[in-house]
Amino acid sequence: MGSLTPLATALGIVVVLIGIGAFIAYFRDRRKFHGYEDLMSDAAMLAKKLDGEVFRDGEDLVVSGNVDRMPTYVRFSHAETTPGVHIRMEAPANVRLAVAPRSAPPTEGRAAVRTGDESLDSRCVVRCEEPMHAKLFVGSKPVIAELLKLCCSSRTFFTVVTGAMELSELTIPHGDVGRHVAEHIASMRRLVPEIRKLPGSDKVKVQPLKRERHLVLKTAIAIGLVAAFFAVFAATKQGSQVTHAGPAVESLPAGVLPADAPEIVGLKGWRLATEAEFDGDSVAWIRSFRKEPTGRIAAKFGRRAEGEDSAYVLVNGDGTRRLVIIADGMSRYDIRFSHIGVLALVPKANVGKIEWAGSPPDNPDGDGVLIVRSRGDRSSGVIFFTSGGRVVTGVPVDYQRVDLME
């Protein structure tokens, strides 16, 4: 058998590496949708509508993208303590309002407000910290029409918080899940013009989510072309020896531990948040405990006895924030926010002293990670824990009443 020509060798390398890329992509998707195989086409449809991506966040399946340049997240979960479907759309909202089924326990917001629509008032209760704002909002016929669509069952909850709208359904609905969720997203989008009319909405800025594209097949093709070039070059330069210097090791962002870096996907372009990028009142609160505000905290978030876990707030070039929690040597949580006002460590021993806005998190493995999602809003704190290796959350009534002393 004759030897292969350089061109045939190059083409062979390209074909093999494309096949390897396709193989990797297939098994990556199998792992991504494990436990959610029935939602594969629904998630793909939603990702296309949002021009976004699908990824796993612990045991949950998440679709992220933008609706009219507003970051939008759809989370599917099988966990008992987490809603089956949770939709979050960041919006220029400067009001706190909750719409809950009449059969549900009272939710956040002290004052109940009647909408004047018999159908909605018979099914749901609207509560708000500022009744005047609520009346301005629900006094609009377009708002009533969309709320009737959003609150489609006795297990559906809709809230407007500073900087975002959120909808939760306790279980994943049956049938055409993708269409069902897409209709909810469309209704939330139609509420945005009404939200913009409320006082103070112009002060709330929303930045679109930048998508990181994981192009496995294109990367494989590019590698194949480079390899093919060197194969042809080597074939035409027999007998010559070329010494290549090894690739330089890319430096890590300051403050990111070398042991953690492999667990942070797409780290390039991100850096540790600095004190100047946190909220002034949150920084003062942290310092009242004789602690320094920082973009990384170290503690025992997981279950293993040895080693140290980390939580990071990272910032990229357009100012997007990113929370990463690494516990037991693995990335347990990695999600982006348009704003994170502070990063704080909540010792496990202090969990029992916290006044929670809802149900407290069950059986935390270790310490908690607290972030503040909205500037000047003391009810916008969220505390993340791991429990049995998965992430659970709790919302304190007032994050500045949480004890950080160890």
Same domain, 160 and 73: yes
Rounded to whole angstroms, how far apart are CA atoms 11 and 112? Answer: 70
CB atoms within 10 A of CB 135: 15
- Dump strand ranges (E) for 13-83: 53-57, 60-67, 70-76
- Check pLDDT > 70 for residue 356: yes
Same domain, 137 and 41: yes
Same domain, 187 and 279: no
Amino acid at 137: F
Q: Is residue 138 part of a domain?
A: yes
Same domain, 62 and 199: yes
> For residue 94, what is the DSSP state?
-
Q: What is the pLDDT of residue 1?
A: 47
Same domain, 320 and 186: no
Place of tokens 């089924």: 101
Give how far the C-alpha of residue 344 lies from the chain's centroid of Cα atoms, to the nearest Å.
18
Q: Is residue 248 part of a domain?
A: no
Q: What is the pLDDT of residue 248?
A: 37
Reference 79, options 384, 381, 362; nearest CA is 362
Same domain, 143 and 274: no
Q: What is the pLDDT of residue 3?
A: 56
Q: What is the pLDDT of residues 167-213, one digit of tens each?
A: 999 999 988 999 999 999 999 999 999 988 888 888 888 888 876 55
Rounded to whole angstroms, how far apart are CA atoms 381 and 120? Answer: 30
Determine which helix (DSSP H) or strand (DSSP E) holds 85, and give its type and residue range: strand 85-90
Q: What is the pLDDT of residues 264-278, one digit of tens each?
A: 988 989 999 999 999
User: Which range of residues forms the domain containing residue 96?
Assistant: 27-203
- Check pLDDT > 80 for residue 30: no
Q: 165, 184, 203 — which closes off a domain?
A: 203
The answer to which of 53-62, 131-140, 324-333, 361-370 has the lowest mean pLDDT is 131-140
Q: 203, 222, 244 — which closes off a domain?
A: 203
Rounded to whole angstroms, how far apart are CA atoms 38 and 31? Answer: 14
What letters, b where the CB count within 10 A reaches 16 and e where it falls short, cover 340-358? bbbbbbbebeebeebeeee
Q: 153, 183, 203 — which closes off a domain?
A: 203
Same domain, 64 and 162: yes
- Check pLDDT > 80 for residue 166: yes
Q: Is residue 21 part of a domain?
A: no
Q: What is the pLDDT of residue 220?
A: 53
Q: Is residue 236 part of a domain?
A: no
Rounded to whole angstroms, how far apart are CA atoms 383 and 369? Answer: 5
Q: What is the pLDDT of residue 12?
A: 66
> For residue 175, what is the DSSP state?
S
Q: What is the pLDDT of residues 88-140, one digit of tens each?
A: 999 998 888 888 898 877 654 467 888 889 999 999 988 887 777 778 888 88
pTM, whole model, 2 decimals? 0.52
Number of domains in the chain: 2
Same domain, 187 and 297: no
Same domain, 280 and 184: no
Mean pLDDT, rounded, for 318-343: 91
